[in-house]
């Protein structure tokens, strides 16, 4: 894979296009421009390899969550919140043919010449428009011909939702309505679905009530029965809303993307159930190969014994609070160490892989994370980010992914 620069004289045009044509409404984070000045080009071989690995891991994840859903006692090592016990039990009616299962696996090239996976975003993976529109824009601006392909994630997701939702039905895009960066994700896919004839309502998690397991919108001026739910509000936030009226999310049979079955693989404690899964005949071969060794904090006698390991929050997102010393900001690593010491159950230790950066024409090193989506078990596109440090967090820049060769 390689970095291909956006021509300098066209970069302003590209950035404006990213904002207004590609729903990139958050082009700045602190002092960092989050629209990369490059595109990432994968070779056909790398693409084929990523598709194979992604779908292989996904097959294992889906088998795992279905097994755990049917055998909740085996899910104990996940440490799921006790207050969710009844709701998790109500998922016994989960039928994957009624819902759309969306995940994103985050791949990193390493100095060993192999890929490492840092996590699966099982619950609410973002980057929808960046994975769909930004590559087309970049290809046009750079002037690449059709020997380079783009895989449009949005088309695949929208078609999957359409296939499981009543024609011209009403879908609520559930998200944190205060956050414009959540709205941008929902707006992109919402506009797509609207063009397919669906009625789209943008609302919050508590704008839905459930009657007989069916969802209804109570948002003012938009009261109606819903035919689908597309959720970008993390489950661990939904389940903290008071008063508790959100239980219906777990037992509804109305198309949901994602259904709360996603919570089994969302926790970073997921590796702690692999022994149970393998005893039940479910292979976790690809997960074991690609995810670095993961341990509970209590399994180390002293924090100092953790050389070669990094700290990760059990329910972290967007790289926040990941304790990689050389990637942390001033004072941050010491803060994380303190938190790990005081709240060890909120963290895990994971063996650190050594990221292999790419070099830009500016001579700088760029660490890459290639997020690889699956929709109902099939690889569905890429959302990639680059950073000058070996931790991909909110400071990272979004970089479009193009493939040399055909992807059909």
| Neighbour count for residue 30 (Cβ, 10 Å) | 8
Toward other proteins, which CB reaches closer, 143 or 331? Answer: 331
Query: Chain-centre distance of CA 281, in angstroms?
Result: 27
- In the complex, what is the shortest distance from the CB of residue 386 to other proteins, in angstroms, rounded to a whole number? 17
The 366-405 contact track toward other proteins, x by CB under 8 A, reads ----------------------------x-----------
Identify the DSSP state of 203: E
- In the complex, what is the shortest distance from the CB of residue 170 to other proteins, in angstroms, rounded to a whole number? 12
Give the binding-site size for other proteins (rule: CB under 8 A).
Answer: 28
For position 29 contacting other proteins by CB under 8 A, the verdict is: yes
For position 203 contacting other proteins by CB under 8 A, the verdict is: yes
For position 251 contacting other proteins by CB under 8 A, the verdict is: no
Task: Residue 127: name the closest of 405, 324, 392, 378 by CA.
Answer: 392
Residue from 2, 16, 275, 334 that binds other proteins (CB under 8 A)? 16
Assess contact for 193 and 203: CB atoms under 8 A: no
The 168-187 contact track toward other proteins, x by CB under 8 A, reads ---------xxxx--x----
Question: Which residues partner with 401 through β-bridges?
Answer: 40
Residue from 56, 69, 159, 222 that binds other proteins (CB under 8 A)? 222
Q: Measure the CA–CA gap between 44 and 2, rounded to whole angstroms.
A: 12
Task: Residue 61: name the closest of 108, 100, 103 by CA.
Answer: 103
For position 66 contacting other proteins by CB under 8 A, the verdict is: no
How many CA atoms are closer than 13 Å to the CA of 77, on its beta-carbon side? Answer: 16
Toward other proteins, which CB reaches closer, 232 or 382? Answer: 232
- In the complex, what is the shortest distance from the CB of residue 190 to other proteins, in angstroms, rounded to a whole number? 10
| Residue 143, CA distances (Å) to 7, 117, 150, 289 in order | 10, 32, 14, 38
Greatest Cα pair distance, the chain, in angstroms, is: 60
For position 218 contacting other proteins by CB under 8 A, the verdict is: yes
For position 12 contacting other proteins by CB under 8 A, the verdict is: yes
Stretch in the footprint of other proteins (CB under 8 A) among 22-30, 227-235, 261-269, 398-406: 22-30
* Coil, strand or helix at 241: coil
For position 195 contacting other proteins by CB under 8 A, the verdict is: no
Question: Which residues partner with 237 through β-bridges?
Answer: none
Q: Measure the CA–CA gap between 6 and 142, rounded to whole angstroms.
A: 6
Q: Give the footprint of other proteins on this chain (CB under 8 A).
A: 12, 16, 19-20, 25, 27-31, 33, 177-180, 183, 201-204, 206-207, 218-222, 394
């Amino acid at each position: 894979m390689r970095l291909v620069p956006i021509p300098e004289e066209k970069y302003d045009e590209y950035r404006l296009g990213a904002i207004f044509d590609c729903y990139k409404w958050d082009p700045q984070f602190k002092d960092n421009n989050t629209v990369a000045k490059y595109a990432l080009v994968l070779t056909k071989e790398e693409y084929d390899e990523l598709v194979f690995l992604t779908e292989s891991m996904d097959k294992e994840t889906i088998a795992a969550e279905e097994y755990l859903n049917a055998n909740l006692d085996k899910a104990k090592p996940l440490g799921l919140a006790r207050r969710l016990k009844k709701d998790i039990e109500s998922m016994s009616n989960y039928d994957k043919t009624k819902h759309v299962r969306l995940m994103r696996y985050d791949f990193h090239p390493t100095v060993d010449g192999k890929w490492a996976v840092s996590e699966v975003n099982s619950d609410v993976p973002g980057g929808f428009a960046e994975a769909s529109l930004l590559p087309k824009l970049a290809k046009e601006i750079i002037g690449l011909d059709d020997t380079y392909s783009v895989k449009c994630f949005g088309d695949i997701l929208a078609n999957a939702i359409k296939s499981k939702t009543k024609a011209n039905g009403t879908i609520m895009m559930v998200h944190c309505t205060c956050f414009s960066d959540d709205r941008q994700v929902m707006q992109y896919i919402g506009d797509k679905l609207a063009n397919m004839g669906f009625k789209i309502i943008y609302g919050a998690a508590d704008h839905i009530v459930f009657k007989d397991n069916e969802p209804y919108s109570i948002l003012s001026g938009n009261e109606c029965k819903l035919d689908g739910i597309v959720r970008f509000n993390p489950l661990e936030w939904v389940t903290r809303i008071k008063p508790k009226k959100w239980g219906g999310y777990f037992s509804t049979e109305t198309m949901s993307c994602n259904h709360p079955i996603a919570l089994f693989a969302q926790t970073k404690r997921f590796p702690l159930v692999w022994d149970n899964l393998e005893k039940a005949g479910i292979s976790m071969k690809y997960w074991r190969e690609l995810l670095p060794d993961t341990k509970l904090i209590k399994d180390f006698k002293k924090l100092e014994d953790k050389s070669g390991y990094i700290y990760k929050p059990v329910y972290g997102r967007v790289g926040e609070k990941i304790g990689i010393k050389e990637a942390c900001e001033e004072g941050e690593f010491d803060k994380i160490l303190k938190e790990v010491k005081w709240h060890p159950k909120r963290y895990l230790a994971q063996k650190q892989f050594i990221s292999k950066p790419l070099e830009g024409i500016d001579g700088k090193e760029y660490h890459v994370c290639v997020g690889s989506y699956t929709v109902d078990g099939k690889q569905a596109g890429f959302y990639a980010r680059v950073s000058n440090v070996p931790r991909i967090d909110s400071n990272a820049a979004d970089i479009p992914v193009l493939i040399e060769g055909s992807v059909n």
